[in-house]
Amino acid sequence: MVSTHPAEVQNAGTQYLPQRRNTSTNISPNQELLPLTAKVNSNDNLEIGGCDVTTLVEQFGSPLYILDEATLRTACQQYRDSFKKYYPGESQVLYASKAWSCLAVCAMIASEGLGIDVVSGGELYTALTAGMSPEKIYLHGNNKSRAELTLAIESGVTIVVDNWYELHTLVEILKAMSVPSTRIMLRLTPGIECHTHEYIRTGHLDSKFGFDPNDLGEVFEFVSKQPTLNCVGVHAHIGSQIFERQPHQDLGAVMVQWLRDAAKYGLNLTELNVGGGLGIKYVESDDPPSIEEWVKAICEVVQAACAAENLPLPKLLSEPGRSLIAPACVTAYTIGSSKTIPEIRTYVAIDGGMSDNPRPITYQSVYRAVVANKLSAPITETVTIAGKHCESGDILIKNAQLPKTEAGDILVVMGTGAYNYSMASNYNRLPRPAAVVVADGEANLILQRETYQDLIRQDCLPERLKS
């Protein structure tokens, strides 16, 4: 039996349960800390997708990524429906699979009618193998290899060309392959500043990505003379985890100018891709716009700019990664040792860390956690959640507010669906955790836990080193 605690109970875990609103207003997953199906069950345990998280850990081991299918699908639907609602032209949402690329995620995305953006041969291979149709795949990258470009041409996906070197290489490869033409888009750096971590900001002029906008005319001219390049549009991406709407609105307006300029070179560009970047709520104070609000802002500005320029509406594409998948997943860990340094702090260690979530050590990202088996216990402790790696900086959460914990408790870190598994490593030779997808009380494995055999699979021991 499932009971939902009243919203006013401010305690260790239930405070994070999605607000059950009385109205039919859509809950935007990117504005919630826990997946939309999160509940507290009669054992005071956290339940996601109808599955008790502590039972999942017993069944599939620890640490465990738990992906809530309903939350992912809701986010997909909200993107899709919002574009339909606010944009009279054609639109296509692409999932930025760098956030989490694996067969099951790509297959769910495909079944929602979304396309996929890939940034490597590996992500491309994964998307194709998952059944994503090539017409809905877009290949990015600032240094695509010849092999990656060739695979993209052979598969019939759209190549988002990033720079002059790639443009020339592509023309050369197409000639050698005797392929009549391939679909491309051009990525430009819009010169737009946004407030996010320096490493995840890409739209400002000093960026490794995209053509310099000062080269715009030259690029259009070159492309217009290449019969093998079927250039369909322009692309830009200004950064990630963005809460302001203004930078994307500025972007939409700038990009419509690019479409207008292209026409001067005889290029009829009909697609405009504004990239991704909508932020999510990682902590209580984060206040991102909802998916619908973000889409609306972009649709309005593109329509207004097109009307001002007297241009037909382009097909509008966007590439959300984080806001689609981050809120749908949590990572469950088992608490082990702890160490109290009087007057300083208490470290509580878990059985994973920077290898399964490198974001805190890389970007100083902040996360929140709950104890899955003590969901409504009162908060009594402030502790530092330490990973198990041989590295002092391997701290997942500083000053976590938790109930009293003990070894064996299941700590659940929220919002881990994006850039966690995809950036995971085997540092200290820790096997990567398993991942399950949960829906309607059923859990299915989507990524197997790595074994020690997996860890040495690529190792080669030269004959002379064998004892």
- Closest to ligand LLP by CB, 140 vs 183, is 140
Q: Which residue in the set 322, 368, 374, 388 belongs to the binding site for ligand LLP (CB under 6 A)?
A: 322
For residue 183, how many other CB atoms are within 10 A of its CB? 19
CA 244 to chain centre: 18
- Residues of this chain, 235-254, that bind ligand LLP according to CB under 6 A: 237, 240-241
- CA–CA separation, 405 and 302 (whole Å): 51
- CA–CA separation, 315 and 92 (whole Å): 7
Q: Residue ranges of the alpha helices (H) in 112-215?
A: 121-129, 146-155, 164-177
Q: Which residue in the set 52, 68, 166, 319 belongs to the binding site for ligand LLP (CB under 6 A)?
A: 319
- Closest to ligand LLP by CB, 197 vs 404, is 197
Least gap, CB of 159 to ligand LLP (angstroms): 13
For residue 281, how many other CB atoms are within 10 A of its CB? 22
Active-site residue numbers? 390
- Closest to ligand LLP by CB, 306 vs 418, is 418
Q: Cα–Cα–Cα angle for 139, 327, 439, nearest 5°? A: 100
Binding segment for ligand LLP among 67-75, 167-175, 313-321, 452-460 (CB under 6 A)?
313-321
- Residue the block writes with tokens 């291979």: 125
DSSP states along 215-226: GHHHHHHHHHT-
Could you tell me which of 414, 136, 440 has the C-alpha nearest to residue 281? 414
Half-sphere exposure of 149 toward its Cβ, with a 13 Å CA cutoff? Answer: 25
- Residues of this chain, 401-420, that bind ligand LLP according to CB under 6 A: 418-419
95 near ligand LLP, rule: CB under 6 A: no
Least gap, CB of 417 to ligand LLP (angstroms): 10
**Tokens at residue 302, please?**
């593109």
For residue 204, how many other CB atoms are within 10 A of its CB? 15
359 near ligand LLP, rule: CB under 6 A: yes
**Tokens at residue 403, please?**
């109930």
Least gap, CB of 314 to ligand LLP (angstroms): 17
Binding segment for ligand LLP among 22-30, 62-70, 95-103, 429-437 (CB under 6 A)?
95-103
Least gap, CB of 182 to ligand LLP (angstroms): 19
Least gap, CB of 155 to ligand LLP (angstroms): 19
Torsion of CA 403, 408, 414, 416, to 10 degrees: 160
144 near ligand LLP, rule: CB under 6 A: no
Q: Which residue in the set 277, 327, 360, 415 belongs to the binding site for ligand LLP (CB under 6 A)?
A: 277
- Closest to ligand LLP by CB, 183 vs 237, is 237
- CA–CA separation, 243 and 173 (whole Å): 41
x/- track of binding to ligand LLP for residues 19-58 (CB under 6 A): ----------------------------------------
Residue 434 pairs with which residues in a beta bridge?
A: 64
Least gap, CB of 139 to ligand LLP (angstroms): 11
Question: Quick check: 14 and 379 in contact, CB under 8 A?
Answer: no
Question: Quick check: 267 and 231 in contact, CB under 8 A?
Answer: yes
- CA–CA separation, 288 and 283 (whole Å): 11
Q: Which residue in the set 121, 275, 360, 415 belongs to the binding site for ligand LLP (CB under 6 A)?
A: 275
- Closest to ligand LLP by CB, 40 vs 161, is 161
Q: Which residue in the set 321, 327, 387, 433 belongs to the binding site for ligand LLP (CB under 6 A)?
A: 321
- Closest to ligand LLP by CB, 13 vs 210, is 210
Least gap, CB of 348 to ligand LLP (angstroms): 24
- Closest to ligand LLP by CB, 117 vs 351, is 117
Question: Quick check: 276 and 267 in contact, CB under 8 A?
Answer: no
99 near ligand LLP, rule: CB under 6 A: yes
Distances from the Cα of 11 to the Cα of 47, 82, 257, 371, 403, angstroms:
16, 35, 51, 11, 8
Q: Which residue in the set 215, 363, 379, 398 belongs to the binding site for ligand LLP (CB under 6 A)?
A: 363
Could you tell me which of 149, 144, 151, 147 has the C-alpha nearest to residue 171? 149
Binding segment for ligand LLP among 96-104, 288-296, 327-335, 455-463 (CB under 6 A)?
96-104
Longest dimension (CA), the chain: 76
Least gap, CB of 30 to ligand LLP (angstroms): 10
203 near ligand LLP, rule: CB under 6 A: no
For binding to ligand LLP (CB under 6 A), which residues are involved?
A: 96, 98-99, 117, 140, 200, 202, 237, 240-241, 275-278, 319-323, 359, 363, 418-419
